[in-house]
Structure 1
């Protein structure tokens, strides 16, 4: 599995709070590295915010 997919998987699992045991989380983090995790997390947060803004825009009917 590529480094980017590992980072994406670790970030998604941490976002929903189902990371499993602490040892598993540390293993995933050590395999990927901290900088790719931070980058993927920032992108995911921005996508989440953009999605919420778009949803609010359509719900308001403007």
Structure 2
């Protein structure tokens, strides 16, 4: 579970700057591995896109 949370923090830091200093982010990314980072990043991007689509549909009234 800590690897998963480390991957989430690393992805969020790279997307929007949350999660601490640059040195901490570099350490987290080296500890987690590349495949979990890619997986978490894809999920975050898909959630962002789904949220934007839902917001657009709500704003359009359909």
TM range (shorter): 0.7 to 0.9
Aligned residues: 61
Where do 1:1-62 residues align within 5 Å? 2-18=2-18, 20-21=21-22, 23-62=23-62
Q: Does structure 1 conserve the Cα–Cα contact (< 8 Å) formed by 2:7 and 2:32?
A: yes
Q: CA RMSD in A?
A: 1.4
TM-score normalised over the length of structure 1: 0.86
Q: Which runs of 5+ in 1 are unaligned?
A: none
**TM-score w.r.t. length of structure 2:** 0.86
* Structure 2: unaligned runs, 5 residues or longer: none
Runs of 4+ in 1 over 3 A off after TM superposition: none
